[in-house]
Amino acid sequence: MKNVELKDYLDDITLFSASQGEPKWMLDMRLDALKKAEELELPKIERVKIHRWPLTTVGDINQEETVCDVLSDFSESPDNPVIVQGRTTTYMEQMPASLAEQGVIFTDLFTALREHGDLVKEYFMTKAVPMDEDKLTAFHTAFLNGGVFLYVPKNVTVKEAVESIFYHQAADDAAYVKHVLIVADENSELTYLERFQSVGEAAEKHSANIVVEVIAKPGAKVKFAAIDLMGEQVTTYLNRRGYIMKDASIDWALGIMNDGDLIADLDSDLVGDGSHAEVKVVAISAGRQTQGIDTRVTNKAPHSVGHILQHGVIRERGTLTFNGIGHILKGAKGADAQQESRVLMLSDKARGDANPILLIDEFEVTAGHAASAGRVDPEELYYLMSRGLPQSEAERLVIRGFLGSVITAIPLKSVQKEFIDVIERKLAD
């Protein structure tokens, strides 16, 4: 698919906004973003060249290819809050009455814009991800065509995991532009699970643009787990960002298992005294796939704590770049920034980078990093093979051990098991 002038889509955006019954402020924001998308530059990911990637293909945003038979997987669905969504269409929405009675909101983004417009307007691209940060955030705002909104009120604990499952129809040539907005109000607690998954086969390359904003207000505790399984023909821009206030925390567990090219911006902004972020990332690259992942924690407040742990595996001619960035700003005394990035290459033609970056603008802080990129240890393989294991099985055990230090740090056993199952499938391909 060839790119066309973005400004030519003004009428399509206006029609789409009207079809969803959006408030005027949202349409105005879209049209402002459309202008900025023409002017702004692409984001810069260290050691990854993306200027030729098809990141701004659009297609027909007013005509959706619907996903067939996806609901057969939910014939015995659990009682937890669940949304199952295609590009724009929501196939299933389940919300326990007990949570609704406590003021919890969990619905598709367009319903939220119509029914909770003032609440969405307060947080939508105002704190975590600015609309005009770069070309891709502006493109996202202009062409947004699906997503969810989750709000947990003050002092409410959601014991059940809140789950979003987003299906991408590979034959649908329109840009897949999703926005997830989560607001955890003061002293609330929640666990959120997210999956992005392609279904079917695509004839040509097209784009996905996903932005996730998590606002953790003072004292809130958020556990966020995601598994990404976008298809080979999908070039993905992924931006997940937390805005973490006083004594709040976000614990991220992210499995980046896409088959296509990807750039990811995984940020945690520690804006409140005593705020805390734990970021755990597992990624696998294979074939001729290129993935560039920027994982950043910015300590903006005193006594804030940010830790990054990311491990990746590269097969065949794949490329995987981890940029781990810890930034302690002036005034953030007592802050702690730690990171570990490791890449394991399984082929002579695989390419991996683990780049630690520490930026320290304050005294009386703690910071450290570890990084490595290398091949499977032949002594480990020899030991396992000497016990009768074939080489392929020995390699799989070494890889599982390598990724295990991240997986075991994931707080939810069910997500740990799903990560392992996905990794096994990826390594068996």
CA–CA gap between residue 290 and residue 209 (Å, rounded):
16
Token output for 41 = 């530059």
Query: Which carries the bigger pLDDT value, residue 147 or residue 46?
Result: 147
Question: Has residue 46 got a pLDDT over 90?
Answer: no
Q: Average model confidence (pLDDT) for the chain?
A: 92
> 390: which residues sit within 8 A by CB, 6+ positions away?
none
Question: Has residue 1 got a pLDDT over 50?
Answer: no
Per-residue pLDDT at 425: 83
Name the phi and psi angles at 393, rounded to 5: -70, -35
* Residue 157 buriedness (CB in 10 A; 0-12 / 13-18 / 19+): exposed
CA–CA gap between residue 369 and residue 14 (Å, rounded):
48
| pTM of the entire predicted model | 0.95
Angle at 370 between CA 367 and CA 375, to 5 degrees: 170
Mean pLDDT of 148-177: 94
Per-residue pLDDT at 114: 98
Per-residue pLDDT at 75: 47
Q: What is the pLDDT of residues 223-282, one digit of tens each?
A: 999 999 999 999 999 999 999 999 999 999 999 999 999 999 999 999 999 999 999 999
In the chain, domain spans: 6-271
Per-residue pLDDT at 78: 66
Q: Which of 355, 357, 369, 338 is nearest to 276 (CA)?
A: 338
CA–CA gap between residue 299 and residue 66 (Å, rounded):
43
DSSP-derived letter for residue 292 is E
Question: Has residue 68 got a pLDDT over 60?
Answer: no
Question: Has residue 95 got a pLDDT over 90?
Answer: yes
Angstrom distances, CA of residue 54 to CA of 45, 50, 82, 146, 205: 16, 9, 32, 20, 7
pLDDT band at 73 (very low <50, low <70, confident <90, very high): low
Question: Has residue 185 got a pLDDT over 70?
Answer: yes
Q: What is the pLDDT of residues 286-326, one digit of tens each?
A: 999 999 999 999 999 999 999 999 999 999 999 999 999 99
| Helices then strands, each counted (H, E), the chain | 9, 19
Q: What is the pLDDT of residues 339-363, one digit of tens each?
A: 999 999 988 999 999 999 999 999 9
Beta strand pairing status for 290-299 and 319-328?
Answer: parallel
Mean pLDDT of 11-28: 97
Mean pLDDT of 130-139: 98
Instruction: Tally Cβ neighbours within 10 Å of residue 118.
Output: 8
CA–CA gap between residue 14 and residue 27 (Å, rounded):
7
Q: Which of 273, 338, 326, 280 is nearest to 304 (CA)?
A: 273
Question: Has residue 101 got a pLDDT over 50?
Answer: yes
Query: For a pLDDT cut of 90, what percent of the chain falls above it?
Result: 76
pLDDT band at 422 (very low <50, low <70, confident <90, very high): confident
